[in-house]
A and B are shown apart, each in its own frame.
Chain A
Amino acid sequence: DIQMTQSPSTLSVSVGDRVTITCRASQSISIWLAWYQQKPGKAPKLLIQKASDLESGAPSRFSGRGSGTEFTLTISSLQPDDFAAYYCQQYNTYPYTFGQGTKLEIK
């Protein structure tokens, strides 16, 4: 199985900060990577797929980059609504696998 490793696991941040989360795959997944946001008690919400394609309705402050094995999710200016957990997911190879998650906490 392809292992997805996110860093950091937790990030203490403030409103207005620029935030970058990294996701590394144990083998190449080309661009077949998605980012999800999940708030407590809610289902995940798709933000980005194909590594950098922003989903319709997702705020433009979210952006994704990368290919192969290394990917990043950047929030350009953190808003109060962005405090949540973020997961990367590869959909290049079965079984699809997720990173362990990154939780954004209020500093």
Chain B
Amino acid sequence: QVQLVQSGAEVKKAGASVKVSCRTSGYTFTDYYMHWVRQAPGEGLEWMGWINPNSGGTNYAQKFQGRVTMTRDTSISTAYMELSSLTSDDTAVYYCARDSYRGHSYSWAFDYWGQGTLVTVSS
């Protein structure tokens, strides 16, 4: 069965960086885009971007350009999301989510999600 297991909660100081991992199993990691979505406490969902695990290519939301870096390690079927220059506005649960399209020509909805990683930024 498909599983996405994320790393544990993080507490960071303002100005620091955080790196969240998403370890996958149950499918061919390189066949599907991996997205990152965040949710501030009590708020809605915000898409941050995707990584093509096959090529390493990325597509970031403009809001996060320059601050986010998505990478992957195909040898361990794991995706990473690093966010830098953290502020209190970055306090949120961060999710990895698999694209439901098998391949790299399109991007569809997100069919499997990690359990979420709470990142708390303190000043």
Option from A43, A46, A100 in Cβ contact (under 8 Å) with B109: A46
Contact between B45 and A44 (Cβ–Cβ < 8 Å)?
yes
Among the 9-residue stretches B57-65, B66-74, B76-84, the one with 4 or more Cβ atoms under 8 Å from chain A is B57-65
Chain B stretch 69-111: residues in CB contact (< 8 A) with chain A:
95, 97, 100, 107-111
Contact between A43 and B100 (Cβ–Cβ < 8 Å)?
no
B114 contact set on A, CB distance < 8 A: 43
* Contact A94:B59 (CB < 8 A) given known A49-B108, A49-B109, A89-B45: yes
A49 contact set on B, CB distance < 8 A: 100, 108-109
A44 contact set on B, CB distance < 8 A: 45, 95, 97, 110, 113
Chain B stretch 20-66: residues in CB contact (< 8 A) with chain A:
35, 44-47, 59, 61-63
Contact between B44 and A87 (Cβ–Cβ < 8 Å)?
yes
Contact between B95 and A89 (Cβ–Cβ < 8 Å)?
no
B23 to chain A minimum Cβ distance, whole angstroms, is 15
CA of A91 to CA of B35, assembled, Å: 12
Contact between A91 and B63 (Cβ–Cβ < 8 Å)?
no
B9 to chain A minimum Cβ distance, whole angstroms, is 13
Contact between B45 and A43 (Cβ–Cβ < 8 Å)?
no
Contact between A98 and B45 (Cβ–Cβ < 8 Å)?
yes
Chain A stretch 82-98: residues in CB contact (< 8 A) with chain B:
87, 89, 91, 94-98
A17 contact set on B, CB distance < 8 A: none
Residue of A nearest to B106 (CB): A91
Contact between B63 and A101 (Cβ–Cβ < 8 Å)?
no
Option from B47, B109, B115 in Cβ contact (under 8 Å) with A97: B47
Contact between B47 and A46 (Cβ–Cβ < 8 Å)?
no
Contact between A55 and B111 (Cβ–Cβ < 8 Å)?
yes
Which residues in A have some Cβ–Cβ distance to B below 8 Å? Answer: 32, 34, 36, 43-46, 49-50, 55, 87, 89, 91, 94-101
